[in-house]
């Protein structure tokens, strides 16, 4: 979506592709206020639904969507994840936030646990048993370097085996290393998977530019280093997440106790974002295939930003 189109969507609402006349459709919706906080306890009359500019009745409304989710978890287990702060290692913090995330999920949800250092591993194949994920999670141990991009590309391929159409991948890492950003962008576009990135680092170093795409200066002609693009860790993690329709955040491990509280908040936002805070049903009145047909959803309050998704499609990617 072009930046201008994205801005217009934020201002005036969302537009959905055409659907068969009279067919019952459902969208999952997330609402945030101007500060980015989730807005809870809304009702059907807090929304305006229109089809080609004409009012369209909301036929069903439910808070706390029961949409089943396939959740992949990819954890960095490089040696640097053994760094301790506040009496806890970065890996322990990662394991703790995954446990909290699992407790926020619902019966019928599906989980996949993966990890990476120099190499990629599947620690637990897709399962609906969160205990199996926790058992595998407890066995993770730091070793090796950080090969994020290669691991992410493989993880996205694994996510294609998910049984639910709503899919999300949570990536937890404390570093960035080699890879082709353009190649990963293509993988993200093909994956139909929302990506959420946890950056365990330092708020200051997160804004220091590093070589990017690939992240290493490779030998050039007669041993001279080749010039490569520069990007900050924050920019890279943001790009990986927002290109998919997800989001990212850097957590300052210098104050790990405070970081853990922020990570739990991010967990809650992920669950609300993926599953949807609200489920809204409607019946289209327009025949299928009509050119230019659109459905628009917005909040009555101009203070709220609405994001909706149907059939695993991210219909808006707020920046």
Q: What is the pLDDT of residues 151-188, one digit of tens each?
A: 999 999 999 999 998 899 999 998 755 455 666 777 78
The answer on 179 and 284 residing in a single domain is no
Which DSSP letter does residue 41 get? S
| Domain match, 110 and 237 both | yes
| Number of alpha carbons in the 13 Å side-chain half-sphere of residue 101 | 37
Domain that holds residue 228: 70-274
Among 154, 159, 124, 156, which Cα is nearest to 140's?
124
pLDDT above 90 as % of the chain? 38
pLDDT of residue 210 exceeding 60: no
Q: What is the pLDDT of residues 216-264, one digit of tens each?
A: 333 333 344 434 454 566 777 887 887 787 888 888 877 777 888 899 9
Residue 3 inside a domain? The answer is: no
Cis peptide before 214 (omega within 30 of 0): yes
pLDDT single digits (tens) 103-119: 999 999 999 999 999 89
Task: Report pLDDT for 19.
Answer: 46
Residue 155 and residue 62 share a domain: no
- 112 and 63 within one domain: no
* Residues 204 and 110 grouped into a single domain: yes
Residue 4 lies in a domain: no
The yes-or-no verdict on residue 76 having pLDDT over 70 is yes
**pLDDT on residue 222:** 38
Given this model, what pLDDT does residue 178 score? 46
State whether 33 and 78 are in the same domain: no
Report the number of distinct structural domains present in the chain: 2
Q: What is the pTM of this model?
A: 0.72
Q: Around Cβ 20, how many Cβ atoms within 10 Å?
A: 13
pLDDT of residue 91: 93
- Is there a domain that residue 6 lies in? no
Q: Is residue 270 part of a domain?
A: yes
């Amino acid at each position: 979506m072009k930046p201008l189109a994205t801005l217009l969507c934020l201002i005036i609402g969302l537009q959905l592709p055409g659907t068969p006349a009279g067919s019952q459709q459902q969208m999952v919706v997330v609402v945030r206020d101007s500060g980015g906080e989730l807005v809870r306890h809304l009702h059907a009359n807090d929304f305006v639904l229109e089809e080609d500019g004409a009012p369209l009745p909301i036929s069903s409304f439910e808070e706390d969507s029961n949409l089943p989710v396939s959740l992949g978890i990819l954890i960095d287990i490089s040696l640097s994840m053994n760094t301790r702060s506040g009496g806890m290692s970065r890996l322990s913090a990662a394991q703790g936030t995954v446990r909290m995330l699992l407790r926020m999920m619902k019966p019928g949800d599906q989980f996949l646990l993966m990890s990476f250092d120099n190499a990629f591993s599947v620690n637990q194949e897709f399962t609906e048993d969160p205990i199996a994920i926790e058992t595998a999670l407890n066995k993770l141990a730091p070793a090796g370097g950080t090969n994020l991009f290669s691991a992410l590309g493989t993880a996205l391929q694994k996510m294609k085996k998910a049984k639910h159409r709503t899919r999300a991948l949570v990536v937890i890492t404390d570093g960035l290393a080699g890879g082709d950003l353009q190649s990963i962008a293509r993988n993200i576009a093909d994956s139909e998977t929302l990506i959420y990135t946890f950056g365990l680092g330092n708020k200051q170093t997160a804004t220091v530019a590093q070589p990017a795409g690939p992240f290493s200066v490779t030998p050039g002609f007669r041993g001279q280093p080749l010039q490569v693009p520069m990007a900050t860790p924050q920019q890279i993690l943001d790009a990986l997440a927002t290109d998919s329709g997800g989001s990212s955040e850097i957590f300052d491990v210098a104050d790990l106790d405070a970081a853990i509280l922020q990570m739990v908040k991010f967990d809650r936002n992920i669950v609300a974002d993926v599953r949807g805070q609200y489920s809204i049903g409607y019946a289209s009145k327009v025949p299928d295939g009509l050119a230019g047909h659109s459905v628009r959803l917005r909040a009555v309050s101009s203070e709220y930003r609405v994001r909706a998704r149907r059939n695993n499609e991210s219909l808006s990617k707020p920046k």
